[in-house]
Amino acid sequence: MLEIRFHGRGGQGAVTSAELLAQAAIEEGKYARAFPSFGPERRGAPVSAFCRIDDKPVTLRTSIDSPDVVVVLDPSLFSAVDVTRGLRKDGSLVINTKKEPGRFMFHGLKQLAAVNATQIAQEILNRPITNTVLLGALVRLLPVVKVESLISAVQNRFSGKIADLNVQALERAYEEAQIISAGDVDIEKQVPCFQEKEPPEKGKEDKPCKEDLDYLWTELTPGCVVQPGSTRDNLTGDWRSTLPVMQKERCIQCGLCWAFCPDAAQVQEPDGFFSVDLDYCKGCGICAKECPTGAIHMEKELEL
Amino acid sequence: MSDANVYAVKTLTSKEYFAPGHRACSGCGQAVAVRMVQKALGRNIVMASATGCMEVVSSPFPQSSWEVPWIHVAFENAAAVASGIEAGLKAQRRKGKIDGRKITVVAMAGDGGTADIGLQALSGALERGHDFLYVCYDNEAYMNTGVQRSSATPFGAVTTTSPAGRVNSGQLTWKKNMMRITAAHDIPYAATASPSHPLDLVEKVKKGMETEGPAYLHVLSPCPPGWGIAAEDSIQLARLAVETGIFPLYEIDKGKHRITMNLEKLVPVKQYLKKQGRFRRLSPEMMEEIQERVCKEWQELREKAEQIDPSAGADEALSKEQEGETEAAKIFRVKAGAPV
């Protein structure tokens, strides 16, 4: 049985990719089961999805803790979630990155496929939905299913132009994916590079940790009291795919962009103009829409 | 109208009591509303928040977006906990354990936590007459769990539990009128507000705080994923809801109805409905039915407002004053939500 775990953010289509892969496998006469796991539904929150493929009926309905393959749809997840948790020895990794893929290799990883999926998705689909792109890279790395059956699964799922564009994205990723096997490069790292901890800055050693850590009940404060405003540690800027750009000549400093920002990401500078706090701006575009003089427009953010 | 209203949003405090970094969806109308309400409330408050979208996005352990004392309680008992806080503060003050300064007690919940699950606690707290402000953020369904219908879901809206099919095109019942229910408790202050009209909203929050006894504020909160709209459109949709008369802005101050955002002419509801994915399957007949109902309710509201407070003369003076304003100033006034 082949077990594949997908990591994505809500809205990127991790659940759909697991389902498409299962559909393609079923079309080839295999047995497959796909299902997601997520908390409260939100666009942008980390989501995982699971797919099991086998020659006999799949009866397991549990989440996948020791996957053969891990597919990561979003580069920002490396620092947010332990994506390689439980990955089997000689397992495979399919990632979305614009960086040099060799640095992601580590001992125990058999092979890796890297593709700049965000760019491909932006160029073809005009939005950073990377699911079908990474499926292309996955089938290039491992012939889990045939490309043709994956394409027909995509065509069954979507219709018209959206289906065509997704097939195009899938094929391009199949062409462009960079494959690295354990024998190809010298591997120095014992753990994935994104798990290596940078030495803490001075004075910041005891900073509260990320949400994915486990807590013992003895470590909780009475009443679970936490620091006020501590979500400021959580930089939501990486949810963004478009970026508000301000033309100062047209700005009359009315402050509507600041008032209507859901994330308090418009900040007034000492000169009276407003600037965007890129740490928190989620790129919703309300400020551009509501600006009475049209001084703000949204631009695609390519440096993701 | 003077230019004061153009820049008036900047009279709001620049201090953020609802910190960024929360996990609300991109373009969340509720997050805009919460930010404004918190700015109006200031820091001398204690809040009880029912389970719902805002609780989930603002308090993933061990973090919190709140810069004020904030308690997460169960889905049904935000109003009950707020009652307890208010009684506790009263007792402590009597015993001289805290000074006499005013601490506002606030309860917040979504439409599910108000109109469905928390209705009994809310009714009890209103009836007992606790001095607190209850804010309902109405996004018209259970969005947090993936868009299930609530009793505040409007007629014709598609949710996962009121799906469109061959016969029906969404929710079959009309939105529960929480304003009438709360006003029936004879509370001193109840009002509707929308994040698209920030000045109006802030004024109502302040009125609610100053009111002795229970106050109720019903805030419309557009939800981009749940309503099927683009993230950038949420404030525009909130404004359209007001201008079409679907969500009129008014207050009931000691039994007196007052329309705070007067509309000379209602925008056709079609403009509001057509923009939303959840109303995609509405038939023209249903749209007509909604339009009729909106007109009827708007007329009723106007009658109530005029019956008690005949201020026709004031309206006339105001419209004369507005004639002189430039087109640009008018846009600002509308966008800044300056109260009439």
- Where are the domains positioned within chain A? 2-195, 235-300
Pairing of strands B45-49, B104-110: parallel
A207 contacts chain B (CB < 8 A) = no
pTM beyond 0.90:
no
- For residue A209, list chain B residues with Cβ-Cβ distance below 8 A: 62
- For residue B12, list chain A residues with Cβ-Cβ distance below 8 A: 259
B19 contacts chain A (CB < 8 A) = yes
- Nearest CA to A70 among A43, A100, A99, A50? A50
How long is chain B? Answer: 340
Q: Do B63 and A226 touch (CB under 8 A)?
A: yes
pLDDT of residue B7: 59
> How many structural domains comprise chain B?
1
Domains A2-195 and A235-300 share a fold: no
- For residue B232, list chain A residues with Cβ-Cβ distance below 8 A: 284-286, 288-289, 298
Residues 6+ away with beta carbon under 8 Å from B202: B12, B36, B39, B40
* pLDDT tens series, chain B, 340 aa: 334 445 577 788 888 999 999 989 889 999 999 999 999 999 999 999 999 999 989 988 778 999 999 999 999 999 999 999 999 999 999 999 998 888 999 999 999 999 999 999 999 999 999 999 999 999 999 998 889 999 999 999 999 999 998 888 889 999 999 999 999 999 999 999 999 999 899 999 999 999 999 999 999 999 999 999 999 999 999 999 999 999 999 999 999 999 998 888 899 999 999 999 999 889 999 999 999 999 999 999 999 988 654 444 444 444 444 555 555 566 666 666 665 4
Q: Do A232 and B20 touch (CB under 8 A)?
A: yes
- For residue B9, list chain A residues with Cβ-Cβ distance below 8 A: 254-256, 258-259
| Residue B73 Cα to chain centre, angstroms | 20
CB < 8 Å from A in window 189-248 of B: 195, 198, 224-225, 230-236
| Residue ranges, chain A, pLDDT below 50 | 200, 203-213, 303-304
Q: Cis check for the bond before B62: say yes or no (omega within 30 of 0).
A: yes
Pairing of strands A31-37, A178-181: unpaired
Backbone angles phi, psi at A9, to 5 degrees: -115, 150
- For residue B22, list chain A residues with Cβ-Cβ distance below 8 A: 231, 234, 236, 263
Across chain B, the runs of DSSP E, i.e. the strands, are: 45-49, 70-72, 104-110, 133-138, 189-193, 215-220, 250-253, 256-259
| Residue B320 Cα to chain centre, angstroms | 30
The ipTM, to two decimals, is: 0.86
Tell me the three state secondary structure of residue B108. strand
Q: Do A44 and B23 touch (CB under 8 A)?
A: yes
CB < 8 Å from A in window 121-160 of B: 143-146
Which of A40, A231, A290 is nearest residue B335 as measured by Cβ atoms?
A: A290
A265 contacts chain B (CB < 8 A) = yes
What is A2-195's CATH number, 1.10.10.10, 3.30.1370.10, 3.40.920.10, 3.90.1150.170?
3.40.920.10
pLDDT of residue B54: 92
Fold of A235-300: Alpha-Beta Plaits (3.30.70)
User: Which amino acid, B129?
Assistant: G
DSSP per residue over chain A, as a string? Answer: -EEEEEEEETTS-HHHHHHHHHHHHHHTT-EEEEEEE-SS--TTSEEEEEEEEESS-----S--SS-SEEEE--TTHHHHS-TTTTPPTTEEEEEE-SS-GGGG--TTEEEEEEE-HHHHHHHHTSS---HHHHHHHHHHHS-SS-HHHHHHHHHHHS-HHHHHHHHHHHHHHHHH-EEEETTTS----SS-GGGSPPPPPTT-TT----TTS---GGGSPGGG---TTGGGGS-GGGG-SEEEEE-GGG-----HHHHT-TT--EEE-TTS-EEE-TTT-----HHHHH-TT--EEEEE----
Domain that holds residue B140: 4-163+171-336
Sign of CA dihedral A205, A206, A210, A213: positive
| Residue B188 Cα to chain centre, angstroms | 17
- Nearest CA to A239 among A39, A81, A12? A12
Asked if B290 and B273 count as a contact pair (C-beta separation under 8 A), the reply is yes
Q: What is the CATH number of the domain that holds B87?
A: 3.40.50.970
Report how far residue B69's alpha carbon sits from residue B147's, in angstroms, rounded to the nearest whole number: 30
Residues 6+ away with beta carbon under 8 Å from B8: B199, B336, B338
- For residue A264, list chain B residues with Cβ-Cβ distance below 8 A: 16, 18-20, 35
Q: Do B64 and A233 touch (CB under 8 A)?
A: no
pLDDT of residue B325: 57
Pairing of strands B250-253, B256-259: antiparallel
- For residue B225, list chain A residues with Cβ-Cβ distance below 8 A: 41, 43
Which of A228, A239, A255 is nearest residue B64 as measured by Cβ atoms?
A: A228
B5 contacts chain A (CB < 8 A) = no
- For residue A80, list chain B residues with Cβ-Cβ distance below 8 A: none
A283 contacts chain B (CB < 8 A) = yes
Cα–Cα separations (whole angstroms), residue B337 to B201, B203, B224, B330: 9, 11, 21, 11
Backbone angles phi, psi at B160, to 5 degrees: -70, -25
pLDDT of residue B332: 63
Backbone angles phi, psi at B330, to 5 degrees: -65, -45
Distance from CA of A69 to the nearest CA of B (A): 29
